[in-house]
């Protein structure tokens, strides 16, 4: 089986060897951009423990906020499935879009017209300069996987990483069931 290459819309799955990196340990990243010069993505499975209304009191919405990555953590980003409702959305792949008109989004949220399964919010993003991601793939920090989830926004984030390891099979099955904190073992 040949290795998949990074591509917009695919997932980066943290290899089990990334244990000492708080940002990327057990991370699943949706690549929203991948070019010869850079790559950008958002961590799908690291909720931060607060919601949109905590950050922006003018928005009456309690959708969870996720850690998108270690870059620009003071900026809010969003990925969604509602391009027909948000002008200037950028297509990622398979019905997933990035960004769009924030004023339209605020109105939709305040009117209660969106479901949490339509959108995910992130503080920060994950980014790689030219060749940086290629080097990390060579050193087995990540493996690339197709995004074969029906809806990445409605999956339970605590099982995303485990499910991708089980899907990959082999020795990854052992790691899928390993405790997240080996000190608890």
Question: Do 163 and 173 contact (CB within 8 A), yes or no?
Answer: no
pLDDT, tens digit (0-9, with 9 covering 90-100), for 77-120: 999 999 999 999 999 998 999 999 999 999 999 999 999 999 99
Q: Which residues are CB-neighbours of 73 under 8 A, at least 6 positions away? A: 67, 123, 124
Q: Identify the bridge partners of residue 179 per DSSP, sorted by sequence position.
A: none
What is this structure's pTM?
0.90
Report how far residue 139's alpha carbon sits from residue 63's, in angstroms, rounded to the nearest whole number: 36
CATH superfamily of 11-179: VC0467-like (3.40.1740.10)
Question: Do 130 and 36 contact (CB within 8 A), yes or no?
Answer: yes
Q: Which residues are CB-neighbours of 128 under 8 A, at least 6 positions away? A: 38, 39, 40, 136
Report how far residue 144's alpha carbon sits from residue 34's, in angstroms, rounded to the nearest whole number: 12
Query: Residues of the chain with pLDDT > 90: what percent?
Result: 68
pLDDT, tens digit (0-9, with 9 covering 90-100), for 117-156: 999 999 999 999 988 999 999 988 999 999 887 777 876 7
Q: What share of the chain is helix, strand, coil (3-state, %, to 5)?
A: 25, 30, 45
Domain ranges of the chain: 11-179
84-121 exposure pattern, b = at least 16 Cβ within 10 A, e = fewer: ebbeebeebeeebbbbbeeeebbebbeeeebeeebbbb
């Amino acid at each position: 089986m040949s290795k998949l290459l990074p591509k917009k819309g695919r997932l980066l799955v943290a290899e089990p060897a990334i244990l000492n990196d708080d940002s990327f340990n057990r991370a699943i990243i949706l690549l929203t951009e991948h070019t010869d010069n850079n790559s950008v993505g958002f961590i799908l499975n690291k909720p931060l423990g607060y919601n949109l209304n905590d950050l922006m009191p003018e928005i009456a919405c309690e959708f969870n906020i996720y850690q998108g990555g270690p870059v620009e953590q003071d900026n809010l980003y969003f990925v969604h499935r509602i391009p027909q409702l948000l002008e200037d959305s950028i297509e990622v792949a398979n019905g997933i879009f990035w960004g769009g008109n924030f004023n339209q989004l605020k109105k939709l949220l305040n009117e209660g017209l969106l479901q949490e399964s339509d959108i995910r919010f992130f503080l920060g993003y994950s980014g790689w300069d030219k060749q940086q991601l290629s080097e990390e793939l060579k050193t087995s920090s990540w493996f690339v996987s197709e995004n074969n989830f029906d809806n990445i926004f409605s999956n339970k984030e605590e099982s995303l990483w485990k499910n991708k390891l089980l899907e990959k099979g082999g020795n990854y099955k052992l790691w899928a069931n390993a405790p997240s904190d080996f000190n608890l073992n």
